[in-house]
Amino acid sequence: MNMTAERQHIILKADQLSIGYKTKKKETVVASDINFELQKGHLIGLVGANGIGKSTLLRTLIKVQPALSGNISLNGKNIQTTTNLELAKHLSIVLTEPLTSKNLTVFELVALGRHPYTNWIGNLTEADDSIISNSLELVNITELKDKRCYELSDGQLQKVMIARALAQDTAIIVLDEPTTHLDMYHKAYILKLLQTLTKETGKTILFSSHEIDLAIQLCDTMIVMQKDKMVFDQPCKLISEGVFNSLFPKDLIVFDEKIGSFRVNK
Ligand SMILES: Nc1ncnc2c1ncn2[C@@H]1O[C@H](COP(=O)(O)OP(=O)(O)OP(=O)(O)O)[C@@H](O)[C@H]1O
């Protein structure tokens, strides 16, 4: 594959997607007319106000909930026709929900990432061990490997969850709000780590976040969800199109295009 083809490799595509919730009685559309193409090796940030539908979109993309209509394709294949085991070999997920298995050591937790590939008892081969060690190294937590997860800080735990996703050895990693509960430094650290991983491993990483300023600085492309529309483009293009100006009511914060960041409207 030549470089141009490599650069244009579309790994995940949403086509006329409509997302939301359906019961026997009614259908609630959270967002519709969603179209984007995620490229291999890109870092993609999904942003938008509280309650706009970011988690709903991520859950739909990872097939945890069905789309109301439209198509999602993974490497050109409709995810509807993909089994969950097959999906787990292409796409790994990092959610922010509290861990139920905090008694596990860091190594054991990261080893769970090998689940789609191990037998039913979860026996690890030498190759599995080396992938786990490599994942710990990539996020710089090798020295934590024998610690129990309940002994970790939120920032350390987030790195462990990313290492688990890396151990799953998938082309795509999806993270729902990976910087929640972290201080300013660690928010930047985690998002920068995700950027480094896309560059070093060629993985495609999609994350939702309220850290719009950081996402603008670090992402290759961004998905911006708004009430009436959804836009997908490079951060600099989104800025020049004035997309961030209309994200929130202007009474309190405004987007300063010169510095590419929000500030308080004093
Ligand atoms: N299980 C559910 N059943 C019905 N409606 C839901 C369900 N979960 C979320 N919603 C609704 O869908 C809409 C989008 O919610 P979602 O959690 O996707 O937003 P979000 O952008 O991730 O928000 P936040 O930034 O606050 O996490 C909201 O109006 C919410 O009330």
Q: Is the CB of 2 under 6 A from ligand 1?
A: no
Cα separation, 45 vs 179, in Å, equals 12
ipTM greater than 0.90: yes
Q: What local confidence, expressed as pLDDT, does residue 10 receive?
A: 95
In a domain, 104, yes or no: no
In a domain, 62, yes or no: yes
Task: Using the predicted structure, report yes or no on whether residue 263 has a pLDDT greater than 50.
Answer: yes
Cα separation, 46 vs 205, in Å, equals 11
Share of the chain above pLDDT 70, in %: 97
The pair of three-digit structure tokens given for residue 31, joined into one six-digit string:
């967002």
In a domain, 47, yes or no: yes
Task: Please state whether beta strands 43-47 and 69-74 pair in parallel, antiparallel, or not at all (unpaired).
Answer: unpaired
56 vs 7, residue with greater confidence:
56
Q: Is the CB of 30 under 6 A from ligand 1?
A: yes
Q: How far is the CA of 60 from the centre of ligand 1 (A)?
A: 12
Cα separation, 178 vs 174, in Å, equals 10
Task: Using the predicted structure, report yes or no on whether residue 3 has a pLDDT greater than 70.
Answer: no
Mean pLDDT over the full length of the chain = 92
Per-residue confidence band for 1, with pLDDT thresholds at 50, 70 and 90: very low
Q: What local confidence, expressed as pLDDT, does residue 4 receive?
A: 52
Look at the block and give the residue holding tokens 């950027």: 195
Q: How far is the CA of 187 from the centre of ligand 1 (A)?
A: 23
Q: What local confidence, expressed as pLDDT, does residue 7 receive?
A: 53
Q: What local confidence, expressed as pLDDT, does residue 211 receive?
A: 96
Q: How far is the CA of 26 from the centre of ligand 1 (A)?
A: 16
Range 182-190 average pLDDT: 93
Q: Which domain holds residue 237?
A: 1-75+214-266
In a domain, 184, yes or no: no
Q: How far is the CA of 57 from the centre of ligand 1 (A)?
A: 9
In a domain, 207, yes or no: no
Q: Is the CB of 41 under 6 A from ligand 1?
A: no
In a domain, 97, yes or no: no
Q: Is the CB of 158 under 6 A from ligand 1?
A: no
Neighbours of 235 (CB within 10 A): 21
Instruction: Spell out the alpha helix ranges (H) of the chain.
Output: 3-7, 54-61, 84-90, 106-111, 126-138, 154-167, 184-201, 212-218, 235-240
In a domain, 142, yes or no: no
228 vs 19, residue with greater confidence:
19
Q: What local confidence, expressed as pLDDT, does residue 232 receive?
A: 97
Q: How far is the CA of 97 from the centre of ligand 1 (A)?
A: 15
If one residue of 27, 46, 52, 176 were mutated to test the ligand 1 pocket, choosing by the most ligand atoms within 8 A of its CB, it would be 52
Whether the model pTM is above 0.90: yes
In a domain, 126, yes or no: no
Number of domains in the chain: 1
Roughly how many angstroms between the first and final C-alpha of the chain, as a whole number? 53
Per-residue confidence band for 5, with pLDDT thresholds at 50, 70 and 90: very low
Atom of ligand 1 nearest to the CA of 56: 18
- Cα 183 off chain centre by: 19
CATH of the domain at 251: 3.40.50
